């Protein structure tokens, strides 16, 4: 089967937005006519409280996002819901009024497209919230409801709120607040297909699909792809699949998945023993135990060879999300975040930055990982510089977007690879150790056909080392070509990019 994936994704820089926490602006009437009971923006996030971020606020932040270099926005759910994260969908055809409703969304969508950017929504189609019209009717009318076969009922009476009694219906992960849809019902299946088609026709550029592995009816996702792509062949379909990616990426279902396999390997390598295992509780990605560069290289090669190249270029690569602790809080120090960001922005596939990571926003497991976007006075400007510089390099160098990924060598915790496209050769080297990393790469110049030596990026700046007389002696980062051989010496916890 010939595989086709959206070309624009191969060149995209995604930014994941949790709408309640990213940006706040005045709501329009009628919602904006009276004060809302909201938590203070800078107070710690809670499981149920709202901060009041909305889509009007995102509209005002587009200049910031473009200046950062972002080309595509990925929103966690925006449809009407009774949860701050909005995974408890009540109405798939209505943008939540607290986010500004449909008016704010379509104004935002037009502005995004006018800037040449893309916008992807989160589709939660395995389960609904208790306020979804069909389930609400069952709550009100019991066995007399016409919507009984839309859900997986097990007995009577159902108990959607009283935890002391059996729910008597299936909820996602046993959660009675999330009644599971009955996808074996043709009406349910058709309803979901039409929701997907509706928003694609209205102009969104793709769907991030929540827990797709929970929908097991034969042919469901194949039909979903066919119907979405019939409207827009360049629509991006990406599934939330944490492990065992291969069955989902043969070209018949998704264009990519959230690449938690890349995230886990990268965190285990650059974070090492620093990773706080308590921040990985119940998360299905292997960010521990610590691994060396050899093991990291093996994991990366397995990942790169697991899928066709056309699919690899449209994987959604990430380091953190609303479902994980933030990288900074996993390790407690910013240099790990910079090393991981270097590996993220130089890896094949579309990088996704979780809002706030670009200026060092911390956060442990949710709800703490869903903190409000910080005031400018609290930004880590060095972290922001790191992100901007790497994003700019990725956007200006085709080799970082679609070029070959070639492993060059490793030694202990030092890992070196190249990205190559039509004569543009870049070398990336990372030392994740707490001491100097030194590596000799024999005949690498001949293998690459060139000798990149210009320092395009480094994760940290150093004052030049000084000799006994106090005179500057040399840069602590050493790049030495001898014939075709390359010698690299990197200070502890340092990464570089040569071109």
Q: Which of 210, 255, 292, 411 is catalytic?
A: 210
The pairing of strands 206-209 and 118-123 is parallel
Tokens of 403: 């070029």
Catalytic-residue membership of 240? yes
Classify the C-alpha dihedral 95-98-104-109 as positive or negative. Answer: negative
Distance, in Å, from the CA atom of 290 to the CA atom of 433, rounded to the nearest integer, reads 11
Q: Angle, nearest 10°, between helix axes 334-345 and 260-271? A: 140
* Residue the block writes with tokens 């922001």: 384
Distance, in Å, from the CA atom of 453 to the CA atom of 130, rounded to the nearest integer, reads 60
Scored b (16 or more CB within 10 A) or e, 184-201 reads ebeebbebbbebbbebbe
Residue 364, SS3 per DSSP: coil
Distance, in Å, from the CA atom of 38 to the CA atom of 24, rounded to the nearest integer, reads 11
Distance, in Å, from the CA atom of 179 to the CA atom of 173, rounded to the nearest integer, reads 10
Distance, in Å, from the CA atom of 66 to the CA atom of 454, rounded to the nearest integer, reads 27
Nearest alpha carbon to residue 11 among 242, 268, 349: 349
Q: Which of 240, 323, 357, 410 is catalytic?
A: 240
Catalytic-residue membership of 461? no
Distance of CA 356 to CAs 4, 24, 47, 459, Å?
33, 15, 19, 18
Q: Please answer whether residues 411 and 404 qualify as being in contact, where contact means their C-beta atoms are separated by less than 8 angstroms.
A: no
Residue 89, SS3 per DSSP: strand
- Active-site amino acid positions: 210, 240
């Amino acid at each position: 089967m010939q595989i086709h994936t959206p070309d624009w994704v191969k060149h995209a820089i995604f930014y994941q937005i949790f709408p309640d926490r990213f940006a706040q602006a005045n709501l329009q009437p009628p919602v904006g006519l009276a004060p809302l009971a909201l938590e203070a923006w800078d107070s710690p996030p809670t499981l149920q409280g709202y901060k009041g971020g909305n889509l009007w606020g995102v509209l005002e932040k587009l200049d910031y996002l473009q200046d950062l270099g972002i080309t595509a926005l990925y929103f966690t759910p925006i449809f009407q819901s009774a949860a701050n994260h909005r995974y408890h969908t009540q109405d798939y055809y209505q943008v939540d009024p607290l986010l500004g409703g449909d008016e704010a969304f379509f104004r935002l969508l037009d502005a995004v497209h006018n800037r040449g950017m893309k916008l992807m929504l989160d589709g939660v189609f395995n389960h609904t919230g208790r306020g979804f019209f069909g389930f609400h009717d069952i709550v009100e009318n019991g066995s007399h409801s016409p919507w009984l076969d839309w859900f997986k009922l097990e007995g009577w009476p159902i108990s959607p709120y009283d935890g002391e009694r059996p729910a008597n219906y299936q909820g996602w992960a046993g959660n009675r607040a999330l009644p599971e849809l009955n996808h074996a019902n043709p009406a349910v299946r058709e309803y979901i297909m039409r929701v997907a088609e509706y928003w694609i026709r209205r102009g969104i550029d793709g769907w991030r699909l929540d827990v797709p592995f929970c929908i097991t009816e034969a042919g469901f996702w194949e039909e979903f792809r066919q119907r979405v792509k019939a409207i827009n062949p360049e629509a991006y379909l990406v599934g939330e699949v944490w492990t065992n990616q291969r069955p989902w990426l043969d070209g018949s279902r998704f264009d990519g998945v959230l690449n938690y396999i890349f995230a886990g390997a990268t965190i285990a390598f650059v974070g090492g023993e620093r990773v706080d295992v308590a921040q990985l509780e119940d998360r299905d990605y292997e960010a521990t135990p610590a691994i060396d560069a050899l093991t990291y290289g093996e994991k990366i090669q397995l990942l790169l060879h697991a899928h066709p190249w056309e699919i690899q270029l449209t994987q959604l690569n990430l380091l953190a999300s609303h479902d994980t602790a933030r990288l900074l809080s996993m390790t407690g120090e910013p240099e790990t975040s910079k090393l991981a960001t270097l590996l993220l922005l130089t890896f094949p596939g579309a990088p996704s930055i979780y809002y706030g990571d670009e200026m060092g926003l911390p956060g442990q497991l949710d709800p703490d990982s869903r903190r409000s976007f910080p005031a400018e006075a609290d930004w880590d400007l060095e972290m922001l510089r790191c992100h901007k510089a790497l994003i700019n390099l990725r956007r200006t160098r085709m080799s970082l977007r679609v070029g070959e990924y070639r492993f060059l060598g490793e030694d202990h915790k030092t890992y070196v690879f190249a990205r190559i496209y039509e004569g543009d050769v870049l070398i990336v080297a990372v030392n994740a150790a707490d001491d100097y990393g030194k590596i000799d790469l024999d005949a690498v110049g001949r293998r690459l056909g060139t000798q990149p030596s210009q320092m395009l990026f480094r994760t940290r700046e150093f004052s030049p080392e000084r000799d006994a007389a106090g005179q500057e002696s040399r840069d602590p980062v050493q790049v030495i070509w001898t014939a075709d051989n390359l010698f690299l010496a990197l200070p502890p916890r340092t990464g570089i990019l040569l071109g």
